[in-house]
Amino acid sequence: MISFPPRIYDAVELSDRRSAIPNGLHQGRDQISPRRAASIFAASIFPIVIVAERTPSRTTAGWMDRCAAARLPAMAVRDLADMLDDPHLRKTRFFTRRTHPTEGDFWEMAAPVSFGAVALPAPAPRIGEDAEAVKRQLG
């Protein structure tokens, strides 16, 4: 059975850890039948269900504060607008604003690797834009 650190129960304000495990599964594990295995699986995800049920009761900042107080590693779920304003991503220049000649401005994510001072590639040419150059290269 998955074991969750007691800090998780504290963060979601569940005082009795055994009440999070249904059907008395905290007692004896000597015989595992398929039915019991299913119950153990259900018990192992039960704390996750509790967290999911309680999540709407606080703001993201409130949960982050509780997790920090309980010394639980946590990260807020963010949408794209939040990520564009993330201090770490700004500092590392993860997003770059680019302009495509026909499609306009867009955000581009940095490549996961770098190869020194390599220039950003130009946007792909429009259909037919480079046809003459391609014909010359082919002879």
Q: Based on the domain organization, do 12 and 45 belong to the same domain?
A: yes
Q: pLDDT of 2-28, one tens digit each?
A: 455 667 667 766 655 544 444 444 444
Q: Based on the domain organization, do 100 and 51 belong to the same domain?
A: no
Rounded CA-CA distance 121/114 in Å is 13
DSSP, residue by residue, 20-66: GSGGGTTS--S---HHHHHHHHHHHHHHHHHHHHHGGGS-HHHHHHH
% of the chain surpassing 70 pLDDT: 67
Q: Based on the domain organization, do 42 and 63 belong to the same domain?
A: yes
Residue 55, classed as helix, strand or coil, is helix
32-43: string of b/e by CB count within 10 Å (b at 16+)?
eeeeeeebbeeb
Give pLDDT, residue 76: 85
Query: Which among 2-6, 27-31, 61-65, 118-122 has the top mean pLDDT?
Result: 61-65
Q: Which residues pair with 7 in a beta bridge?
A: none
Determine contact, residues 80/17, Cβ cutoff 8 Å. no
- Asked if residue 74 is part of any domain, the answer here is no
Q: Based on the domain organization, do 62 and 84 belong to the same domain?
A: no
Integer Rg of the chain from CA: 26
Does residue 105 surpass a pLDDT of 90? yes
Q: Which residues pair with 79 in a beta bridge?
A: none
Domain boundary among 16, 34, 69: 69
Q: Based on the domain organization, do 32 and 87 belong to the same domain?
A: no
Q: Based on the domain organization, do 126 and 105 belong to the same domain?
A: yes
- Asked if residue 75 is part of any domain, the answer here is no
Give pLDDT, residue 55: 83
Does residue 33 surpass a pLDDT of 70? no
* Domain assignment of residue 39, given as a range: 6-69
Rounded CA-CA distance 86/80 in Å is 10
